[in-house]
Amino acid sequence: MPKVIFLPHEELCPEGAEVEAESGQTVLDVALDNKIYIEHACEMSCACTTCHVVVREGFDSMEESDELEDDMLDKAWGLEPESRLSCQAVIEDEDLVVEIPKYTINQVSERH
C-alpha cells in the first residue's frame, strides 16, 4: 500500500503527515480523509487551481496530466514542473512526497 507524505504546511498540517493510501485514490481524497483540508473550490471538477500541489517525490509514478488539467495548472500560483491538481493526481503503487503551496490563487487575490 503506497504512502503519501505531506510536507509541513503552516496552516493545513504544521507537523506534516505520513498516511497510507490506496492505489486509485487522488491525492486530494487522501488528504481530506486524513483531515488535511486542501482547498477545492470547484468540488474536484478540474475547474480551478485551489487544490494545486507539488509532488516532490514519486511524480513519474502517476499518470500524466491531461490537457484540461494542464490548462488549469497554467493559472496556478507558484507553478513548478512537478505541479499537479490534487483532485486529478491519482496515486498508483509508489509512495509520494507532496508539498502544499503556501498560497492558492484565491488567497493571493484576496490579499491585494
pLDDT at 16 over 90: yes
**In the chain, where the domains are located:** 3-110
Per-residue pLDDT tens for 25-49?
999 999 999 999 999 999 999 999 9
State the pLDDT at residue 103. 79
Average pLDDT score over residue span 2-16: 96
CATH superfamily of 3-110: Beta-grasp domain (3.10.20.30)
Q: Taking residues 38-64, report their average pLDDT.
A: 95
Question: Would you state the pLDDT for residue 111?
Answer: 41
The 3 state secondary structure assigned to the chain is CCEEEECCECCCECCCEEEECCCCCEHHHHHHHCCCCCCCCCCCCCCCCCCEEEEEECHHHCCCCCHHHHHHHCCCCCCCCCEEECCCCECCCCCEEEECCCCCHHHHHHCC
pLDDT of residue 104: 73
